[in-house]
């Protein structure tokens, strides 16, 4: 009966394509949206993850970087530097602004770096240098490409002109990118004097970062200190929390679609084989035998659909970043688990549906037309 | 198989139709029984009941002592699988399976493991001369080959009775002939009963018994004649149209046939005619 | 008899299935579109309701949402002095992240002076802030987190008391939050700072001319509110266009597949009838038309149903999650029909192949 199921499944190419295609699409809906959200999370936290800072110190109560602002007086930097276990403190300036490159205006996070910064620098430098120095700017290579500018060209930031001295990689996410200028220029153009945004702390070799972070909070007033992992997690959480409802709705829709397509295909497949199933019944097959055949057919379709959906999503994950510079997909195990469970439910439901059809099938149907 | 007073009625009230009316018969092992009759006579309905595909309204069917006409639907598959074999006019092979797989499938339904089922299937198909066609899909087989696969399929679980519904209707004359003789040899050499429902006059040649079903009831075959124009069997007593020609009496099913005969009688009397013999008609 | 009846039921079931497939796909497409429209509306709501017709921002900033703007000191006085300017409402705004019940909630904080304007336009409960410690909170966000007037909210490291709830200030991405301007200055450690000026133009004056006049001042850019809103919308579009288009494409394909499958199955079952038609001399084109008509009918009915479903679904979504705004525009109905018919047309390709390959001899195979 299993062989019958597989043969029946592959005999009808069109129906196979439709059912496998339908399941694949439904699962892709779920996988790709999950993938986009996950990618955004990673990109949003990328700067922090690559910052080389063990501890991030911000204004009291500020636990995020994106969609937040933090202001610390430069005195705090000194105070933090004095805490035991702290090896170096790199103060950076930060705000959201527009980078005007050619005709393109991009919202960017502008980072003001001090000279010889020990942390917080661009982590992938694809051209030029990673240290902006006064007058210079390091911008994201994707943005540069999209606006048709390169090293030596001029961009406008914070209302002033800068020369592009370096191109960075990994510094773009769906909505914005990161651009680096010297903190000197930054302060001149924007900051209140003696104000910094974040302090990037590196600890001594043997010192545990979370312990030092707590020490900093105890000893220095008006600051919040988080380890790099903690801070990164907070950033990802923003993206996750913001997108939960959306993802839930889309997942539900994808799920319903997959269910509907599988149900429909199995129904029509069973329907069209009515005559043959009738013959089998006349020859002595029990309902149970037919359920097995239909069930295996359903399961096989779903498995193929799952494989196809996964393959296509992975393909998308490879292609999309090449076409759209500020979008990507990340397929995670959790996503796969979700999708595998959904597939299982598709298969089970689809296998159960035709039970009524088969039970009600009269073997006398072999004499139809007589 | 013992059939007692079998009846089948469809519908109810003013639209009630009686397809089979109080039919009784026995079928012995090794016997070839041919059931003939005009369209709508209830042959197919009778066959369906004998083959446990339809429940009778009245009467009983006994197989080796067991009453199968009252078995619940759940128990019937066992009977169909192990006691009966079915052969259809349209062959009804599963289109996605090869000849071998078609037969092996039915073998495996009865619990045989795949390997054993395949072997049994191969054996049967080879006996029927299909060893070169084992892995062909039905679409690639000729009519005669398909019917032989169907016969192998019907035999694979060692049934007591084979039921055949118009087994030669879709086959040409020579192949049909072969199939008929094959059915006879199965009955005689393997001791199985073969019940055939057919319009085909030639099958009379291989049948042990010919039963004529008309309006749901068996009629006496002896007094049947054959309309020389259209080949239909006509009851002598009831025939409204008859004609004497050159000392022979001919019976016709309808006025049209009589008139056609009367116009050119030589056309229909070439070669000796005797009432009751089959006669090949000019190719249509 | 039984078979004939079963056939008819099959026809109805089949029709229902293909209609259902189109309906669901159209519903998805419409909801995605409505969601985008709703989002734009939410994003632009602040400027829709705030005072004035012009927005003055730091030079180079053309968005309200997205970039931090800091006007040079003294800008307000300069702008007030420009001829044709009737009134100016300064605001200090910044994106912030609230941690409510262990969930990160981004919010757009607006610091304003109640006397001058730039604050909430609809107070559903309570009042506007009178002192720095007081805050006006978005009504929908408050409901979602079961907080209300009188409760305290922690922002960064300070605690504020909710004295009023505002309406029309919500979006699924962020909500608006209002404090006195001086409170925000203190929070951000930027005394006297101003992000934007909302400019009220005197009666009879042309906003465009006043805009150009103001732009001549150094360090600032003046824009019509509509221009800023357009920029904000475009920014948002960049964010969502790719994912939404992907989802829409998938929905469309699913619709095609479902209808295609149903009609394909029906065509295969009726092979013999079509074979007869061919044997009688019907050309392939005629048979295509039959199949196409089936598909088109299913598509049209399905689209109609899909539009109804979309309305129902969007109402359900908004009831369950009031921070979402799904706007069903009547113009979309026209586009939906086009999309639906497109689905039907493509779907008809599946059975078309069957018909093309059908040999008229089929009819004699019985």
**pLDDT for res C366:** 43
User: Which token pair is A163?
Assistant: 């020369």
**pLDDT for res B278:** 38
Q: Are residues A77 and A215 in the same domain?
A: yes
Residue C183 has what DSSP assignment? H
Please answer yes or no on whether A222 and C317 come within 8 Å at the CB atom: no
Backbone angles phi, psi at B194, to 5 degrees: -130, 120
Chain C interface, best mutation among A67, A143, A308, by max C CB count within 10 A = A67
Return the closest-CA partner of residue C309 out of C337, C328, C335, C331: C328
Q: How far apart are CA B34 and CA B212, in angstroms?
A: 8
Q: Give DSSP secondary structure letters for B134-146.
A: TT--GGGS-HHHH
Q: Are residues A272 and A310 in the same domain?
A: yes
Please answer yes or no on whether A241 and C104 come within 8 Å at the CB atom: yes
C93-106: per-residue pLDDT in tens? 998 888 888 888 88
Please answer yes or no on whether A175 and C10 come within 8 Å at the CB atom: no
**Which run of H or E residues covers position A74?**
helix A74-81
Considering CB atoms only, which of A195, A234, A271 is closest to C265?
A271
Does residue A150 belong to any structural domain of this protein?
yes
Does residue A117 belong to any structural domain of this protein?
yes
Per-residue confidence band for B149, with pLDDT thresholds at 50, 70 and 90: very high
pLDDT higher than 50, residue A4: yes
| Chain A residue with minimum CA distance to C190 | A192
Of A221, A251, A270, which closes a domain? Answer: A221
Q: Are residues A68 and A195 in the same domain?
A: yes
pLDDT higher than 70, residue C160: yes
B contacts of A367 (beta carbons < 8 Å): 44, 48, 53, 165
- Domains along chain B? 2-219 (3.40.50.300), 226-269 (no CATH)
User: Which token pair is B140?
Assistant: 């690639």
* In chain A, residues 117-146 whose CB comes closer than 8 Å to chain C: none
C104-137: per-residue pLDDT in tens? 888 999 999 999 989 999 999 999 999 999 999 9
**pLDDT for res C10:** 65
* In chain C, residues 176-235 whose CB comes closer than 8 Å to chain A: 188-190, 219, 235
A345-349, C49-53, C351-355: segment of lowest average pLDDT: C351-355
Does residue A309 belong to any structural domain of this protein?
yes
Contact status, residue C85 vs residue C199, Cβ threshold 8 Å: yes
Considering CB atoms only, which of C20, C68, C156 is closest to A60?
C156
Q: What angle do CA A207, A50, A321 make, to 5 degrees?
A: 160
Structural domain including A211 reads 61-221
Residue B11's DSSP bridge partners are none
Contact status, residue B3 vs residue B21, Cβ threshold 8 Å: no
Between C72 and C270, residue with greater pLDDT: C72
**pLDDT for res A233:** 93
Average pLDDT, chain C: 84
A89-98, A272-281, C2-11, C234-243: segment of lowest average pLDDT: C2-11
What is residue A192's three-state secondary structure? coil
pLDDT higher than 50, residue C315: yes
B151-206: per-residue pLDDT in tens? 999 999 899 999 998 888 888 888 888 888 888 888 888 889 999 988 887 777 78
Residue bearing tokens 């759940």 = B74
Q: Is A33 on the interface with C (CB under 8 A)?
A: yes
A75-89, A113-127, A132-146, A185-199: segment of lowest average pLDDT: A185-199
**pLDDT for res B284:** 33
Q: What percent of chain C stands above pLDDT 70?
A: 95
Cα atoms in the Cβ-side hemisphere of radius 13 Å centred on C83:
2
Residue bearing tokens 């060209």 = A153
C-alpha radius of gyration, chain A, whole number = 29
* In chain A, residues 81-120 whose CB comes closer than 8 Å to chain C: 95-98, 100, 105, 107
Number of domains in chain A: 2
**pLDDT for res B253:** 81
Does residue A325 belong to any structural domain of this protein?
yes
| Chain A residue with minimum CA distance to B162 | A283
Q: Are residues A282 and A206 in the same domain?
A: no
**pLDDT for res A167:** 92
Q: How far apart are CA A199 and CA A297, in angstroms?
A: 61
Return the closest-CA partner of residue B84 out of B150, B161, B31: B161
Residue A172 has what DSSP assignment? B
Rounded to an integer, the average pLDDT of B66-81 is 84
**pLDDT for res C204:** 86
Q: How far apart are CA C93 and CA B228, in angstroms?
A: 106
Q: Are residues A217 and A255 in the same domain?
A: no
pLDDT higher than 50, residue B280: no
Rounded to an integer, the average pLDDT of C167-172 is 86
Per-residue confidence band for B276, with pLDDT thresholds at 50, 70 and 90: very low
Average pLDDT, chain B: 82
The interface pTM score, or ipTM, of the predicted complex is 0.77
Q: How far apart are CA C225 and CA C197, in angstroms?
A: 11
Rounded to an integer, the average pLDDT of A55-71 is 88
Chain A interface, best mutation among C1, C108, C254, by max A CB count within 10 A = C254
Q: Are residues A76 and A30 in the same domain?
A: no
| Chain A residue with minimum CA distance to C17 | A264
**pLDDT for res C227:** 92
Please answer yes or no on whether C60 and A159 come within 8 Å at the CB atom: yes
A contacts of B41 (beta carbons < 8 Å): none
CA distance A12 to chain C (A): 10
Q: Are residues A268 and A148 in the same domain?
A: no
A338-363: per-residue pLDDT in tens? 888 988 888 888 888 788 888 888 88
Does residue A300 belong to any structural domain of this protein?
yes
Q: Are residues A40 and A65 in the same domain?
A: no
Does residue A280 belong to any structural domain of this protein?
yes
A contacts of B198 (beta carbons < 8 Å): none
Considering CB atoms only, which of A18, A222, A272 is closest to C269?
A272
Does residue A51 belong to any structural domain of this protein?
no
Q: Give DSSP secondary structure letters for chain B.
A: -EEEEEEEEES-GGG-EEEEEEEEEE--TT-EEEEE--TTSSHHHHHHHHTTSS--SEEEEEETTEE-TT--TTTHHHHHHHTEEEE-TT----TTS-HHHHHHHHHHHTT--HHHHHHHHHHHHHHTT-TTSTT--GGGS-HHHHHHHHHHHHHTT--SEEEEESTTTTS-HHHHHHHHHHHHHHHHHH--EEEEE-S-GGGGGT-SEEEEEETTEEE-STTEEE-TTT--EEETTT-SEEEEETTEEEEESSHHHHHHHHH-HHHHHSS---TTS--PPPP-
Q: Are residues A81 and A192 in the same domain?
A: yes
Q: How far apart are CA A82 and CA B21, in angstroms?
A: 111
* In chain A, residues 232-251 whose CB comes closer than 8 Å to chain C: 234, 237-238, 240-242, 245-246, 249-250
Please answer yes or no on whether A238 and C104 come within 8 Å at the CB atom: yes
Considering CB atoms only, which of A107, A234, A362 is closest to C66?
A107
CA distance B159 to chain A (A): 11
Residue C117 has what DSSP assignment? B
Considering CB atoms only, which of B54, B80, B96 is closest to A284?
B80
**pLDDT for res C360:** 66
Q: Is C103 on the interface with A (CB under 8 A)?
A: yes
Q: Chain centroid to CA B228: how far?
A: 23
Q: Is C258 on the interface with A (CB under 8 A)?
A: yes
Within 8 A by CB and 6+ apart from A250, the residues are A29, A30, A33, C247
Q: What percent of chain B stands above pLDDT 70?
A: 91
pLDDT higher than 70, residue B273: no
Q: Are residues A198 and A282 in the same domain?
A: no
Please answer yes or no on whether C60 and A100 come within 8 Å at the CB atom: yes
pLDDT higher than 90, residue C196: yes
**pLDDT for res C181:** 95
**pLDDT for res C296:** 84
Pairing type for strands B58-63 and C220-224 reads: unpaired
Between B233 and A308, residue with greater pLDDT: A308
Please answer yes or no on whether A272 and C261 come within 8 Å at the CB atom: no
A321-335, A337-351, C306-320: segment of lowest average pLDDT: A321-335
Q: Is A364 on the interface with C (CB under 8 A)?
A: no
B contacts of A289 (beta carbons < 8 Å): 109
Please answer yes or no on whether A272 and C265 come within 8 Å at the CB atom: yes
Q: How far apart are CA A353 and CA A349, in angstroms?
A: 6
Q: Are residues A85 and A31 in the same domain?
A: no
Does residue A166 belong to any structural domain of this protein?
yes
C7-20: per-residue pLDDT in tens? 555 677 777 877 88
Q: How far apart are CA B215 and CA B238, in angstroms?
A: 14
Please answer yes or no on whether A96 and C353 come within 8 Å at the CB atom: no
Please answer yes or no on whether B94 and A11 come within 8 Å at the CB atom: no
* In chain C, residues 285-314 whose CB comes closer than 8 Å to chain A: none
pLDDT higher than 50, residue B275: no
C contacts of A256 (beta carbons < 8 Å): 24
Rounded to an integer, the average pLDDT of A331-343 is 88
Of A162, A188, A221, which closes a domain? Answer: A221
Contact status, residue B183 vs residue B194, Cβ threshold 8 Å: yes
Q: Are residues A95 and A216 in the same domain?
A: yes
Q: Classify residue A194 as exposed, middle or buried by CB count within 10 Å of its CB (0-12, 13-18, 19+).
A: exposed
Q: Is A353 on the interface with C (CB under 8 A)?
A: no
Backbone angles phi, psi at C229, to 5 degrees: -60, -40
| Chain A residue with minimum CA distance to B82 | A284
Q: Give DSSP secondary structure letters for C282-301.
A: --HHHHHHHHHHHHHHHHHH
Scored b (16 or more CB within 10 A) or e, A294-332 reads: bbbbbbbbbebbbebbbebbeebbeebbeeebbbbbbbb
Scored b (16 or more CB within 10 A) or e, B240-254 reads: ebebeeeeeebbbbe
A contacts of B108 (beta carbons < 8 Å): 1
A212-256: per-residue pLDDT in tens? 999 999 999 889 999 999 999 999 998 888 888 878 887 887 888
**pLDDT for res C131:** 93
Q: How far apart are CA C106 and CA A145, in angstroms?
A: 31
Q: What angle do CA A101, A169, A33 make, to 5 degrees?
A: 95
Contact status, residue C22 vs residue C258, Cβ threshold 8 Å: yes
Q: Is A14 on the interface with C (CB under 8 A)?
A: yes
CA distance A261 to chain B (A): 23
Q: How far apart are CA C269 and CA C251, in angstroms?
A: 28
CA distance B5 to chain A (A): 21
Q: How many CB atoms lie within 10 A of CB A31?
A: 27
């Amino acid at each position: 009966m299993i062989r019958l199921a597989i043969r029946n499944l592959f005999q009808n190419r069109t129906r196979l394509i439709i059912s496998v295609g339908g399941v694949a699409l439904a699962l892709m809906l779920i996988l790709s949206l999950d993938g986009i959200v996950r990618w955004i999370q990673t990109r949003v936290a990328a700067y922090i993850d690559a910052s080389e800072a063990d501890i991030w110190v911000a204004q009291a109560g500020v636990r995020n970087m994106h969609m937040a602002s933090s202001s610390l007086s430069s005195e705090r930097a000194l105070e933090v530097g004095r805490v035991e276990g702290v090896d170096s403190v790199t103060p950076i300036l930060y705000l959201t602004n527009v980078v005007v490159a050619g005709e393109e205006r991009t919202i960017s996070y502008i980072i003001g770096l001090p000279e010889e910064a020990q942390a917080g620098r661009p982590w992938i430098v694809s051209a030029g240098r990673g240290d902006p120095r006064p007058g210079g700017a390091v911008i994201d290579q994707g943005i540069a490409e999209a606006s048709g500018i390169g090293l030596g060209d001029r961009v406008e930031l914070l209302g002033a002109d800068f020369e592009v001295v370096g191109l960075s990689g990994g510094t773009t996410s769906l909505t914005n990118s990161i651009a680096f200028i010297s903190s000197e220029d930054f302060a001149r153009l924007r900051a209140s004097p003696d104000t910094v945004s974040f302090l990037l702390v590196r600890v001594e070799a043997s010192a545990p970062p979370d312990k030092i972070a707590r020490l900093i909070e105890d000893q220095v007033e008006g600051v919040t200190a988080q380890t790099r992992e903690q801070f990164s997690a907070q950033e990802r959480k923003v993206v996750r929390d913001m997108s939960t409802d959306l993802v839930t709705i889309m997942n539900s829709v994808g799920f319903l679609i997959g269910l509907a397509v599988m149900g429909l295909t199995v129904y029509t497949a069973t329907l069209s084989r009515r005559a043959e199933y009738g013959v089998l019944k006349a020859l002595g097959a029990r309902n149970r035998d037919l359920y097995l055949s239909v069930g295996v057919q359903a399961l096989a379709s779903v498995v193929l659909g799952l494989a196809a959906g996964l393959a296509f999503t992975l393909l998308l994950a490879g292609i999309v970043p090449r076409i759209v510079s500020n979008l990507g997909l990340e397929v995670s195990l959790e996503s796969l688990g979700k999708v595998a469970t959904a597939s299982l439910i598709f298969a089970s439901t689809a296998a159960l549906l035709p039970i009524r059809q088969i039970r009600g099938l009269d073997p006398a149907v072999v004499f139809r037309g007589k | 198989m013992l059939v007692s007073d079998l009846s089948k009625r469809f519908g109810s009230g003013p639209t009630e139709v009686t397809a089979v009316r109080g039919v009784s018969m026995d079928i012995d092992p090794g016997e070839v029984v041919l059931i003939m009759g005009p369209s709508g006579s209830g042959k197919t309905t009778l066959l369906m009941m004998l083959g446990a595909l339809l429940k009778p309204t009245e009467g009983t069917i006994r197989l080796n002592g067991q009453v199968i006409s009252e078995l619940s639907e759940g128990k019937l598959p066992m009977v169909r699988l192990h006691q009966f074999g079915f052969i259809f006019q349209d062959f009804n092979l599963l289109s996605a399976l090869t000849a071998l797989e078609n037969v092996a499938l039915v073998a495996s339904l009865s619990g045989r493991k795949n390997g054993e089922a395949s072997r049994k299937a191969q054996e049967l198909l080879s006996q029927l001369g299909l060893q070169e066609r084992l892995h062909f899909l039905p679409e690639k087989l000729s009519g005669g080959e398909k019917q032989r696969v169907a016969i192998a399929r019907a035999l694979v679980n060692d049934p007591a009775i084979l039921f055949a519904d118009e087994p030669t209707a879709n086959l040409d004359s020579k192949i049909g002939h072969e199939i008929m003789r094959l059915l006879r040899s199965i009955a005689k050499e393997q001791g199985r009963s073969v019940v055939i429902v057919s319009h085909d006059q030639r099958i009379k040649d291989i049948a042990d018994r010919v039963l004529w079903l008309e309006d749901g009831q068996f009629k006496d075959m002896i007094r049947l004649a054959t309309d020389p124009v259209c080949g239909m069997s006509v009851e002598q007593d009831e025939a409204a149209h008859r004609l004497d020609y050159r000392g022979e009496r001919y019976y016709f099913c309808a006025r049209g046939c009589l008139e056609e005969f009367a116009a050119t009688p030589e056309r229909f009397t070439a070669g000796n005619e005797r009432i009751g013999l089959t006669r090949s008609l000019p190719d249509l | 008899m039984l078979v004939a009846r079963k056939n008819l039921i099959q026809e109805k079931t089949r029709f229902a299935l293909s209609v259902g497939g189109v309906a669901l796909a159209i519903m998805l497409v419409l909801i995605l579109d409505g969601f985008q429209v709703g989002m734009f509306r939410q994003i632009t709501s602040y400027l829709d309701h705030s005072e004035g017709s012009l927005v003055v921002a730091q030079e180079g900033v053309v968005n309200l949402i997205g970039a931090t703007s800091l006007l040079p000191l003294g800008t307000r006085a300069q702008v007030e002095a420009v001829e044709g300017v009737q009134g100016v409402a300064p605001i200090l705004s910044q994106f912030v992240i609230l941690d409510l019940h262990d969930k990160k909630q981004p919010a757009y904080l607006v610091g304003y002076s109640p006397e001058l304007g730039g604050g909430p336009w609809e107070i559903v409960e309570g009042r506007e802030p009178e002192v720095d410690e007081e805050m006006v909170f978005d009504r929908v966000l408050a409901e979602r987190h079961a907080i209300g007037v009188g409760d305290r909210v922690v922002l960064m490291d300070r605690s504020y008391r909710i004295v009023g709830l505002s309406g029309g200030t919500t979006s699924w991405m962020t909500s608006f939050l209002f404090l006195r301007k001086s409170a925000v200055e203190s929070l951000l450690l930027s005394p006297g700072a101003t992000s934007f000026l909302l400019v009220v133009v005197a009666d009879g004056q042309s906003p465009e001319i006043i805009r150009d006049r103001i732009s001549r001042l150094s360090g600032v850019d003046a824009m019509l509110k509509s221009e800023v809103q357009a920029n904000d919308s475009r920014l948002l579009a960049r964010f969502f266009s790719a994912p939404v288009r992907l989802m829409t494409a998938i929905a469309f394909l699913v619709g095609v597949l479902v209808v295609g499958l149903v009609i394909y199955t029906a065509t295969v079952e009726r092979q013999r009838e079509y074979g007869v038609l061919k044997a009688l001399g019907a050309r392939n084109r005629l048979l295509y038309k039959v199949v196409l008509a089936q598909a088109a009918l299913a598509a049209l009915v399905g689209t109609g149903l899909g539009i109804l479903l979309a309305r129902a679904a969007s109402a359900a979504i908004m009831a369950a999650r009031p921070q979402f705004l799904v706007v069903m525009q009547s113009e979309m109905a026209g586009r939906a029909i086009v999309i639906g018919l497109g689905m039907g047309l493509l779907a008809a390709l599946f059975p078309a192949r069957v018909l093309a390959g059908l040999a008229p001899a089929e009819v004699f195979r019985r």
